[in-house]
Structure formats: structure tokens, C-alpha cells
Homo-oligomer: A and B are copies of this chain.
Amino acid sequence: MMEGVKGRRVLVAVDVSEQSMHALKWAVDNLQLSSADTLILCHAKRLPAAYEGLGGPGFLLTPEVSLSLEKYVDRIAEDVMNKAREICSGSQVKVEEEIVKGDARESLCEAVQKFEADFLVIGSHGYGTIKRSFLGSVSDYCAHHAKCPVLIVKKPHHH
């Protein structure tokens, strides 16, 4: 069926957003991924914005708080991967998982190179709210900086 076709390596950014899961589902449904292809689920775990920088110079975080925050982001990562795995379960594609730490924008671009991805699939948050315009910039950034083609999937408004 896939004769002569080199397996594709598709990296999909997954996070807590509905948009990222929609993008993953879209990729599974539309890219005709087969067992020759590899889907790399990549999640960038990051402390909630309110805690950003707390561990930096000039700040002190008690080990207890620090540990509880780490557990929190770990649990989110686990939830995200579970959901993502479920979406892929109908497909024959090989699935790999990668959890990275830090800013999604840079982490995703780095992961593209590390995994030699043929393309990056990323959800976009459309427009309308501050949150969406903030998160949308991840896809903008990757479209410009990732060293591979980038597929930006918007979740239709009527869903």
C-alpha cells in the first residue's frame, strides 16, 4: 500500500486546549497516516503563568510548594497524553511521546529538529479573547521558526 513511500514523521503539539486535540484529530483523519508513519505527540509542560519566574534568581520557593507545582504540571501532562493517545487509537500510525519542559514555542521548534519531523501540526486559537490571542502566538511563532512545514489547524467556530 505504501510502496516506495518513506514514512513520514509528524510532530503534533498537544496541550490542555480543545484546539490542540482538534488539531490532532484533524491530522489523524486527514493525513492518511499509515503504519509506515510516526506521530510524535509533544507536550511542553510549564508552570501556570502566575508562578512563572518564582524559581528564578531573587525568589525562593519552599520545597513543598515547588514539589506540589511540579506534580500539578505532571498530572496535566499525563492527562493530555492520555487524551491524545485515545485520539490516535483508531489509527495504525506509530505513536511516540515527548514531554518537554519550558516555553511551548521554543520547545516545539527544538523538538522538530530533535525528532527530524517532516512537519509540525499545531492548533490555533482563532480570535476574540486575550487568552486566544496570547496562545495563538505559539502557532505564529512556530510557523516562522520551525525548521519544517507547519500545519495550523483552527477549530471551527460552530463546534
User: Contacts of A124 on B, CB cut-off 8 Å?
Assistant: 143-144
User: How many copies are assembled?
Assistant: 2
The range of chain A's interface size is: 20 to 34
**Interface-lining segment among A53-61, A79-87, A101-109, A145-153:** A145-153
Interface string of A115-159 (1 = CB under 8 A from B): 000110000100100000000100110011001111111101000
Task: Judge whether A94 is part of the interface by a CB distance below 8 angstroms.
Answer: no
| CB of A67 within 8 Å of the partner chain | no
- Least distance between A143 CB and chain B CB atoms (Å): 5
* A-B interface, 9 closest residue pairs, ranked by CB to CB distance from nearest: A149-B153, A151-B151, A143-B152, A150-B152, A32-B32, A149-B151, A143-B143, A1-B1, A26-B149
